[in-house]
Structure formats: structure tokens, C-alpha cells
């Protein structure tokens, strides 16, 4: 009996992967929801450990960024160091596999909680950036959009005192030691308004029309595939709840505990890059 249990534990991830392959092969219109675990192998840190516990310093909140100049100074000082890690990141096997699965018509929509645009860089076409994109900047005054690359140059020129490196953190952040009151934050070149990354900060909300559009896609789908997300944040978890309400099968690939564990038809408890690295060949991508 003990040997049988040991063998099962050793091989159950392979059994689950086979079931995942069958699930994808049998589908023609999946909605995929991805999280930070999907980009971890691209060198972008995650907020939580495998048990879903927070392991980083407190993130910046929307109202804090809007109302406090010192918070904006702190954010941009850290972002100057952390942004290149996101800008230079390259897609990994999970990104490329999902793009390949979309390419043969099995994925109708991919919703990502990540702000790194790695799915698009891997060739994925129909992507909803649920929390925005870090490579874009918007003016809170006139609404003008601009490039994060261009702002990086302005920040570096205005702040030669910034350190050259720091410990990378999630979402283009970095841990650095500096007096943030010395930071000169550039303003909008059109109206001198406040510049903000085009992302949804903690404490802000995803636009209702985006949520409703995803709900409609779920309603028309064959099921929901969750990849690399603990679903601790409600903005992502709500789509699991909606899929369950609609009676859609939900499958998850994630190595640790997630908020949706009780809702899944199948959970592959493994690193998503390792799973998808071995998944393409068994799939019927023809």
C-alpha cells in the first residue's frame, strides 16, 4: 500500500497534465486567466509565496499616488530602477505555448492580471490587460498617453543622484534606499499635469465595461483556464466565481494554494512553465 501511495504521489502531476491536455484538446473557445506565476520565469518577481502569503513591502495605493507628491516621488524613484527589468524581460514557454494554443483557435480570450505585456510579445493577439500596461503612461489632467521608455529618459536626466541598481520587486518596482524628497518627477509635456503609469493600482477598480465584456466571453466559452495565479485579488477571482455560476468547467495550473481551489474541475499543482514546456507536443495543434 505504501509503495502504491508513493508511486501515485510521484506521478499524479503527470496524470493531471494528461487531463489538462484532454481539456484543451476538447475545447474550442477557452477563456484563459493568467497571473504573476506566468511571468516569474521571465525574471519578474511575484508578490506571494506558494501558500499565497504576501512576501513584499506594501504596494502603492491609488489614492496615495493621487494625493501625495511624496508618494509619487517614492514610486517613480523605485520605478526608474525596476522598469528596465520589465522592459527587457522576454516571454517564456508558458507565454509562447498559450499563444500557440490561441493560434489554432482553442483560446477565444486571454485575460492577464500582469502588466508586463509579455503575452503580446509572445504573439498572443486577443489579450485583455486587466490591470493595465506598465509600458504606457497617462496624464491625469488632459488624458494624454505617452511611452514609459520616453519617461525613463526624462527621469534619468532629472535625477542623476539615483542609484544604478536595486533589488527588483513585482510590477517594475525596486527596493532602494534614497531620500525621495530629492526626486524630481517630470510632469505632462502637454499640460503640466500629473503623470501616472497606465495601470490599476491597489485600491482602484477595473472599469465595469471591461468586467462585463469578460463576463460575456465567459458566457460564450467552453470553460476557464487559470494559469499562474493565486486569485487572492478579487479582480481576478470574480471571473472564477462567474464561470462557476455559469456552470463552466474551471481548470487551474498553479503550484500553490489559490482562492479558487474549491471551484476547479481539475488542478495541476505544478509550475506553469514546466507544465506548458511539456504540453505542446501532446496537444492537437493542427
pLDDT digits (tens, 9 = 90+) for 151-172: 999 999 999 988 765 554 444 4
Instruction: Report which of 41, 25, 16 is spatially closest to residue 95, judged by C-alpha positions.
Output: 41
Contact 114, 34 (CB under 8 A): yes
**Which of 11-15, 74-78, 206-210 has maximum average pLDDT?**
206-210
Dist CA 275 CA 93 (whole Å): 9
Instruction: Reply yes or no on domain 14-44+91-131+205-286 having CATH 3.40.190.170.
Output: no
pTM for this predicted structure: 0.88
Give the pLDDT band of residue 1 (cuts 50, 70, 90).
very low
Give the pLDDT band of residue 37 (cuts 50, 70, 90).
very high
Positive or negative, the CA dihedral 217, 221, 227, 229 is: positive
Contact 274, 16 (CB under 8 A): no
CATH 3.40.50.1220 in the chain, residues? Answer: 14-44+91-131+205-286
Number of helices (H), then strands (E), belonging to the chain: the values are 9, 11
- Residue 193 neighbours by CB under 8 Å, 6+ apart: 139, 140, 141, 142, 187
Reported as a single tens digit per residue, the pLDDT across 202-218 is 999 999 999 999 999 99
**What pLDDT score does 187 carry?**
98
Reported as a single tens digit per residue, the pLDDT across 122-133 is 999 999 999 999
Instruction: Reply yes or no on domain 54-88+134-199 having CATH 3.30.1600.
Output: yes
Q: Which residues are catalytic?
A: 131
Give the pLDDT band of residue 59 (cuts 50, 70, 90).
confident
CATH 3.30.1600 in the chain, residues? Answer: 54-88+134-199
Give the pLDDT band of residue 7 (cuts 50, 70, 90).
very low
At 284 the three-state DSSP class reads coil
Amino acid at each position: 500500500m505504501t509503495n502504491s501511495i508513493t508511486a501515485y504521489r510521484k506521478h499524479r502531476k503527470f496524470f493531471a497534465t494528461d487531463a489538462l491536455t484532454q481539456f484543451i484538446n476538447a475545447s474550442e473557445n477557452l477563456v484563459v486567466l493568467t497571473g504573476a506565476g506566468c511571468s516569474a520565469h521571465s525574471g519578474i518577481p511575484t508578490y506571494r509565496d506558494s501558500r499565497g502569503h504576501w512576501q513584499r513591502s506594501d504596494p502603492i495605493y491609488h489614492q496615495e499616488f493621487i494625493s501625495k507628491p511624496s508618494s509619487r516621488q517614492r514610486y517613480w524613484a523605485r520605478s526608474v530602477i525596476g522598469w528596465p527589468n520589465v522592459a527587457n524581460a522576454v516571454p517564456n514557454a508558458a507565454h509562447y505555448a498559450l499563444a500557440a494554443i490561441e493560434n489554432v483557435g482553442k483560446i477565444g480570450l486571454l485575460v492577464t492580471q500582469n502588466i508586463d505585456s509579455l503575452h503580446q510579445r509572445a504573439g498572443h493577439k486577443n489579450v485583455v490587460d486587466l490591470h493595465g500596461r506598465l509600458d504606457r503612461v497617462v496624464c491625469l489632467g488632459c488624458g494624454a498617453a505617452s511611452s514609459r521608455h520616453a519617461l525613463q529618459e526624462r527621469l534619468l536626466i532629472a535625477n542623476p543622484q539615483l542609484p544604478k541598481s536595486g533589488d527588483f520587486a513585482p510590477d517594475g518596482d525596486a527596493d532602494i534606499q534614497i531620500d525621495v524628497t530629492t526626486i524630481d518627477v517630470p510632469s505632462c509635456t502637454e499640460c503640466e499635469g500629473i503623470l501616472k503609469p497606465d495601470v490599476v493600482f491597489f485600491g482602484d477598480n477595473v472599469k465595469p465595461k471591461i468586467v462585463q465584456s469578460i463576463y460575456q466571453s465567459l458566457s460564450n466559452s467552453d470553460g476557464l483556464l487559470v494559469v499562474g495565479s493565486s486569485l487572492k485579488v478579487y479582480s481576478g477571482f470574480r471571473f472564477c466565481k462567474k464561470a462557476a455560476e455559469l456552470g463552466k468547467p474551471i481548470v487551474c495550473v498553479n503550484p500553490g494554494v489559490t482562492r479558487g481551489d474549491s471551484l476547479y474541475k481539475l488542478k495541476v499543482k505544478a509550475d506553469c512553465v514546466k507544465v506548458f514546456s511539456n504540453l505542446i507536443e501532446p496537444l492537437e495543434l493542427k
